[in-house]
Structure 1
Amino acid sequence: MDLDQTLLEIGGAPVTPYHLFSVACLFSLLLLVAAVIFAWRAQAGRREEHLAAERRRAELEYRIAELSGALKSLAEQSHGSQMQLVSALDERLDQVSQRLGLNLTDQTERTGQSLAQLHERLAVIDAAQKNIMSLSSEMLGLKEILSNKQARGAFGQARMEAIIRDGLHAGAYAFQGTLSNGTRPDCLVSLPDSPLRLVIDAKFPLEAFNALKAAKGEADIRNAEARLKADVLKHVRDIAEKYLIGGETHETAIMFVPSESVYAELYEKFEDVIQKAHRARVIIASPNVLMLLVQTLQAIFKDVRMREQAGLIKAEVTRLLEDVARLKERVGDLQKHFGAAAGDLEKLAVSAEKITRRGLKIESLELEEPAIELARPKLMEQG
C-alpha cells in the first residue's frame, strides 16, 4: 500500500495513510499516559483511605474504652439503685397485698350479691325471652300466612267468619254460597224483609302493599303506588262484575280488609281509590267496620223479629184481657158470697150477744113475767 496515496482531502489538504497511522500512534500514546495517571491516582487514593481507616480504628478503640468505663460505672450505680428499688417494691407489695386482700374480700361479697341479683334478672330475662320466642314464632307464622296468597285468603276468611258468627244467628248468613251466575262469594248475608243478600268478599290483595313497604327510592315508591291502585281497583271491578246482581244481591258489596293498619293507610294515602270503589258500589271495611255493620244488622234482625211477633203478641194480649175479665167476674161473685156471709155472721153475732145477756140474767135470777118471757122467743126468731 502506498503511504503517500491521498485518501481524501480536508479543507484542501490531502490525507494519506501515513497521516492516519501517525494520528493512531498519537492517540495510543495519550491513552497510555492517561492510564498511568489514573493508576497513580488510584494508588494514592488507596493509601489515603488506608490512613483514614487507621485513624478511625484508633478513634473507635478509644471511644470503646471510654464507653466501657462509663458502662462499668453505670452498672455499679444501677446495682445500687436496683437494690433500693427492690426494697421499696417489697414494702409497697406488702402494703398492696394487704389492701388487695381487704378489697378482694369486700369485692367477693359484693360480687356474690351482684350474682344473686343477676341470677334473678336472668330468670326474668329468660322468661321474657321465652315469651319473645313464642311471639316470634307466632309472628313468623303470621308472616308466612301473609306472604302466601292462599293462606292469606284463608286468614282473612277466618277473621271475617269469626266476626259474622259472633254477631248474627246461623240462619242469617251463608259462607261460600252460590249465586245465579255460578260465582261463590265468601259470605252472603240475608237481609230482613227482602229477597236480596249482602255480599262480603275477604280476598283483599296485599302484595302491592308489601311492595310499597319495601320500596326505597322515589321511582320504586311511585311504581308501587301505581301497582297498588291498579290491584285494588281491579279487585273492586271483579267484585262489582261478579257479585252485584240485580234482584238477587244488594246494590252494595263489602270488600273486607283483615288489617286495621292497611285499612288506615289506604284511607289516608289513596282517597281516590276509595272514591272510585264507592262509585262502583263496593265498600272497603276493616274488622272494626265489619263488626259495626254486623251489630247494625243484628239490631235490624231484632226489630224484624219483633214485628213478626207483633200479631202473636197482640193475640196473646187479647186472650190475657179475656182471662182478666173472667177473673174480675169471678172476684165479683166471690165478693157477693162474702157479703152474704158477712150479713149472716152479723146476725149470728147479734143472737149470740142476746143469748149471752140472757144467760147472765138467768145467772142473777132476774126473771121477768111469763107473758113477757113467752114473747121473747118470737122476738128472737124475728131477730
Structure 2
Amino acid sequence: MEYLIFGSAVIIILILLFILMQKQLTNLREQLRRSLENSDQILSQRIETSGKVISDVQKDLVRLEESNKRIYEVGKDISSLQDILRAPKLRGTIGEFLLSDLLSQILPDRHFSLSYQFKSGERVDAIIRLGSRLVPVDSKFPLENFRGLLEAKSDQDKRSYQKRFQRDVKGHIDSIARKYILPDEGTYNFALMYIPAENVYYEIMVKKDIWSEEKSIVDYSMDKKVIPVSPNTFYVYLQTILLGLKGLEIERDAQEIVSTLGSLRGDFSRFKKDFDLTRRHLYNATRCYDSADRKLQRFGDKLEQLEIPPKAGVESDSSQVELEAASTKREIETDEQGERSI
C-alpha cells in the first residue's frame, strides 16, 4: 500500500512537472513567433522606408534643379561674384557655411561633425561618420588663379593662369592627402574635396586642358585618394551615404534578431534535455509501479490461499501450502534484492 501511495505521488508530481514544462514550451513558441513577426515587420518597414527615401531623393533633385535655376537668375543681378569672394578668408567661411548647411539638411547630427581636430593638431572642416570610420571633407579651395583664368583675354594669359591653377589645385590635393587621410586615427583611405562652385568643378572634372601635357587634375586626385565633389555631386554622395547608414541599421537589427533566435535555440535545447530526463523518470517510475503491483498481486493470492480452511481428507495439503508460501516469500525477497541492486 505504501508503494502504491508513493508511486501515485511520484506520478502526480511528474504530471505537474510535465504540465509546467508544456506551458513553458508554449510560452517559448509564442515568444519565437512574436519575434519572427516583429522581424518581418521591421524588415518590411525598412524596405518601405528605403523606397520612400529613393522617391524623396528624386523629388529633392527636382527641387534642387529648380533652386539652381533660381540661384542662377539671382546671380545675373550680381555684378561680380569674384569681387565678393576676393578675400580668401571670406571665401573659406562661405564654403564652410555651404558645406555645413548641406550636411545638416541630409545627415543626422550624430553622423557628422564640423571643424574636427585630429591628434596631429590638424583641423578638417567636416567629417562624416560612416560605420566605425571617418570620411574627411575639406571645403577650402584656391580660386585666385581661376579668377585670373576667367578674366584672361589672350591665349598666353589663359595658358599661364591655367598652369598656375592646376599647380594650386594639385598642391591643395597633396595637402588634403597628407593632413586628413589618417587611417591610424580612424579615417578611410580617401577624403572629399568640396568645391563650392559648379563652374570650378566643371573646369577640373570635365573641361580638357589643351595646353598642358601633365597628368590631369582628375587623375592626380584619384592617385592621391582625394575625390573632388561639387554641391550637386556632393548631394548625391550624401544620399548614397544616408542609404548606407540605414543599411547598417538594418544589419544591426538583423544581428539582434539572429542573437535572439540563438538564445531561444539554446533555451529550447535545455528544455528538451529536461523533457527527456522527465520522460526517463516517468518510464522508470512506471516500471517500478508495475513491478510493485505484480508483487502485491502475488502476495495477495498467497495470503488468500493461506486463509482457506483445510477440508477433510486433505490435511496433507497443508504442508504443501506452507511450502508454497515459503517459496512465494523467497521470490518476493529475491525480487526486492534485485531491485535494490538496480
User: TM-score normalised to the size of structure 2?
Assistant: 0.50
User: TM-score normalised to the size of structure 1?
Assistant: 0.45
**Is the radius of gyration larger for structure 1 or structure 2?**
1
